[in-house]
Chains A and B, each alone.
Chain A
Amino acid sequence: MDLSAGVASVRRVIERWSRDQVLSLAPDAASQKAAAGVSAPGKWSGSGALPDVVWGECKGSGATPYRACVDLSEPAYKCSCPSRKFPCKHALGLLLLWASDGVPDGGAPAGWVTEWLEQRRSRAEQQDRREREPAKGSRPSSGSAQRESRVAAGLSELERWLTDQIAHGIAGARQTGLADWDELGRRLVDAQAPGVAGAVSRLSRVLREEDWPGLLLEEYALIHLLAVAHRRAAGLPAGLAETVRSRVGFPIIREDVLASPWIRDDWDVVGARDEEQDRLVARRVWLQGRATGRAALVLSFAPIGQALDASLVTGTTIDAALAYYPGASPVRALVAERYGPATAGPPAGTKLSRVPGRIAEVLAGDPWADSWPVVLGDVIPSTESLVDESGNGLPLHPAGGVPWRLLAVSGGRPVTVAAEWTPRGLRPLTVWDEEGQVVRL
Chain B
Amino acid sequence: MNTPAVNVTWEDLVSTALVGTDRRSASPGEVLEQAAVQVVRARAGRRTREGHPPAPAAEETRPLAARAAGDRLARMLGGEQARLLPEWLEAAAAIGVRVPAHLIPGLLDLGARDRSIRSHLGALTGARGRWLAELNPSWSYLLAEAADMPSGDLWEFGTSGDRRGYLAALRAAAPAQARELLERGWDKETPEDRAAFVLLLSENLGMDDEPFLEAALDDRRREVRQAAADLLTRLPESRLARRMAERAARFLVKDGGGLRADPPKACDSTMERDGVRPRPPAGTAQRGWWLQQVIARTPLAFWAGHLGLPPERAVQLKVGDWAREVAMGWTRAAILQHDARWARALFEVEPLTDLLAVLPPDEQSARAAELVVRHPVDGQMIMMLGGVARPWGPRLAKAVLKKIVETSGTQPWNAGELIRLAGERLDPAMHGHVQEIAELAVILRFRYDMSKELS
A interface residue numbers (CB < 8 A to B): 18-20, 32-33, 36-37, 39-42, 96, 99-102, 162-171, 213-214, 217-218, 220-222, 224-225, 228, 352-353, 355-356, 359-360, 363-364, 367, 380-383, 385-388, 391-395, 402, 404-405, 407-409, 411-413, 423, 433-434, 439
Contact = CB atoms under 8 A, between A and B. Distances in A.
Interface string B10-50: 10011011111111000011011101100110011111111
B110 to A, nearest CB: 13
Contact of A170 (B17, B46, B104, B127): B17
Contacts of B441: 42
A278 to B, nearest CB: 26
Given A360-B44, A407-B132, A382 B35 contact: no
Contacts of A166: 16-17, 20-21, 28, 31-32
B87 interface: no
Interface in B98-143: 100-102, 104-105, 127-128, 131-132, 135-136
A20 B78 CA distance: 12
Contacts of B215: none
Most A C-beta atoms less than 10 A away, residue of B13, B67, B445: B67
Contacts of A381: 53
B20 A383 contact: no
Given A101-B68, A411-B101, 9 more contacts: A18-B71, A100-B68, A169-B20, A170-B17, A225-B33, A360-B44, A392-B49, A394-B51, A408-B102
B101 A221 contact: no
A164 B71 contact: no
B228 to A, nearest CB: 40
A224 B36 contact: yes
Contacts of A20: 74
A380 B54 CA distance: 8
Given A168-B20, A169-B20, A387-B51, A220 B32 contact: yes
Given A40-B445, A163-B32, A169 B46 contact: no
A394 B78 contact: no
B283 interface: no
B44 A163 contact: no
A42 B36 contact: no
A104 B285 CA distance: 68
A138 B131 CA distance: 60
10 contacts: A19-B74, A42-B442, A96-B71, A163-B32, A167-B22, A228-B33, A364-B44, A367-B36, A393-B49, A393-B51
B43 A40 contact: no
B318 interface: no
A382 B53 contact: yes
Nearest to B445: A42
B23 A394 contact: no
B53 A392 contact: no
B266 interface: no
Contacts of B131: 411-412
B18 A169 contact: yes
Nearest to B54: A412
A394 to B, nearest CB: 6
A213 B17 contact: yes
Contact of B13 (A168, A217, A356): A217
Contact of A409 (B10, B39, B67, B101): B101
A411 B128 contact: yes
Contact of B57 (A101, A388, A411): A411
Contacts of A19: 71, 74-75
Contact of A37 (B17, B20, B52, B80): B80
A289 B241 CA distance: 78
Central interface residue in A363, A392, A404, by most chain B CB within 10 Å: A404
Contact of A168 (B22, B67, B68): B22
A222 B431 CA distance: 64
B152 interface: no
Contacts of A412: 53-57, 131
Contacts of B22: 167-169
Contact of A171 (B19, B47, B78, B431): B19
A381 B39 CA distance: 27
Contacts of A356: 46-48
A404 B49 CA distance: 22
A40 B442 contact: yes
B256 interface: no
Nearest to A385: B51
A312 B106 CA distance: 26
Given A163-B29, A169-B20, A99 B71 contact: yes
Contacts of A222: 36, 39-40
A386 B31 CA distance: 35
A101 B79 CA distance: 22
Given A33-B78, A404-B105, A40 B17 contact: no
Contact of B75 (A36, A224, A402): A36
A217 B14 contact: yes
A433 B67 CA distance: 13
A217 B102 contact: no
Nearest to A389: B53
Nearest to B109: A404
Contacts of B189: none
A101 B446 CA distance: 15
A407 B48 contact: no
Contacts of B48: 352-353, 355-356, 388, 392-394
Contacts of B32: 162-163, 166, 220-221, 224-225
B179 to A, nearest CB: 37
A169 B57 contact: no
Contacts of A393: 48-52
Contacts of B105: 404-405, 407-408
B101 A433 contact: yes
B449 interface: yes
B17 A169 contact: yes
A433 B102 contact: yes
- The 5 tightest CB contacts between A and B, nearest first, are A393-B51, A169-B20, A387-B51, A221-B35, A412-B56
Most buried by A among B16, B32, B45, B55: B32
B136 A404 contact: yes
Given A40-B449, A385-B51, A409-B101, A363 B35 contact: no
B101 A408 contact: yes
B54 A382 contact: yes
B17 A407 contact: no
Contacts of B43: 359, 363, 423
Given A19-B74, A32-B78, A225-B33, A163 B28 contact: yes
